[in-house]
């Protein structure tokens, strides 16, 4: 099991606002996510891509909100 993949998923879960959201992005149950994070189950390239897409979507929402705040401030 790749420690880098396990750590990457864990970090992504925190960035997404919790492991529940990461599990939702991966379309897996909490038990399966815990197994992946513990190294008991593999983390596929598809898992990494789905996670990256979830992070991209969150980043887009954050950027849009920042844009609205700047607009409100007159920038």
Q: Is the pLDDT of residue 48 over 80?
A: yes
Which domain does 30 fall in, by range? Answer: 3-72
Q: Is the pLDDT of residue 42 over 70?
A: yes
Query: Quick one: average pLDDT of 58-63?
Result: 98
Q: Is the pLDDT of residue 70 over 70?
A: yes
Contact at 8 Å (CB) between 8 and 44?
no
Q: What is the pTM of this model?
A: 0.89
Q: How many CB atoms lie within 10 A of CB 36?
A: 22
Q: Give the pLDDT score at 36.
A: 96
Return the DSSP state at 26: H
Q: Give the chain's end-to-end CA distance (angstroms, integer).
A: 48
Q: Give the pLDDT score at 75.
A: 86
Q: Is the pLDDT of residue 1 over 70?
A: no
């Amino acid at each position: 099991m790749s420690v880098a993949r396990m750590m990457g998923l864990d970090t992504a879960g925190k960035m997404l606002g919790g492991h529940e959201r990461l599990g939702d992005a991966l379309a897996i149950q909490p038990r399966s996510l815990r197994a992946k994070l513990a190294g008991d189950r593999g983390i596929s390239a598809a898992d990494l891509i789905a996670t990256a897409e979830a992070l991209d979507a969150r980043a887009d929402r954050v950027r849009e909100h920042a844009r609205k705040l700047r607009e409100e401030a007159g920038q």
